[in-house]
């Protein structure tokens, strides 16, 4: 089973749209959004960010804070092979400004340089995860 932490824009329905696209027999997605983000919830989120196979950050127009941008940049430097990123440039007929679209384009280029994987849509991410075969530890390989 592939485990994935779903970070990014909190005030958006992207997670509700994304999870049904995943193969439930193959991908286990952790949603950190809770009603009360207390110390227990924060510790649970931190555990998933460290231990899940991938950390996915999806940014949408509903973004109200910038912490997810720090998280994806930090992960792309520390754990690039586990970092996935997507900006949904259009939602419900609305788009980011031209200036922000240029910013996102540059951020995506830099994340790719760091080794992160960048996607253009939720469908593209789901296809990647549903078709991924994680390498088994060498201790499981038969000779």
| Token representation of residue 23 | 């193969």
| Token representation of residue 53 | 């196979």
Measured CA to CA in angstroms, residue 132 lies from 23, 27, 60, 101, 108 at distances of 11, 10, 25, 29, 22
Domains present along the chain, CATH in parentheses: 2-140 (3.40.50)
Residues in the chain: 143
Per-residue model confidence (pLDDT) at position 134: 67
pLDDT < 50 positions in the chain: 138-143
Indicate whether this model's pTM tops 0.85.
yes
98-108 burial, b for 16+ CB within 10 Å, e for fewer? eeeeeebeebb
Give ∠ CA 15-18-24 in degrees, rounded to 5. Answer: 110
Per-residue model confidence (pLDDT) at position 135: 61
Measured CA to CA in angstroms, residue 138 lies from 11, 25, 95, 142, 143 at distances of 41, 23, 46, 9, 10
Average of per-residue pLDDT values in the chain: 92
């Amino acid at each position: 089973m592939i485990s994935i932490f779903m970070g990014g824009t909190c005030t958006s329905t992207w997670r509700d749209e994304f999870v049904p696209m995943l193969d439930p027999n193959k991908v286990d997605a952790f949603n950190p959004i809770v009603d009360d983000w207390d110390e227990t919830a924060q510790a649970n989120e931190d555990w998933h960010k460290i231990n899940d196979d991938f950390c996915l950050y999806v940014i949408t127009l509903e973004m109200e804070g910038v912490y997810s941008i720090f998280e994806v940049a930090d992960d792309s430097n520390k754990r690039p092979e586990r970092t996935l990123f997507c900006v949904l440039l259009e939602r419900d007929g609305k788009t980011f400004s031209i200036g922000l679209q240029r910013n996102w384009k540059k951020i995506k280029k830099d994340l790719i340089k760091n080794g992160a994987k960048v996607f253009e849509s939720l469908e593209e991410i789901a296809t990647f995860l549903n078709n991924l075969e994680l390498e088994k530890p060498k201790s499981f390989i038969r000779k």
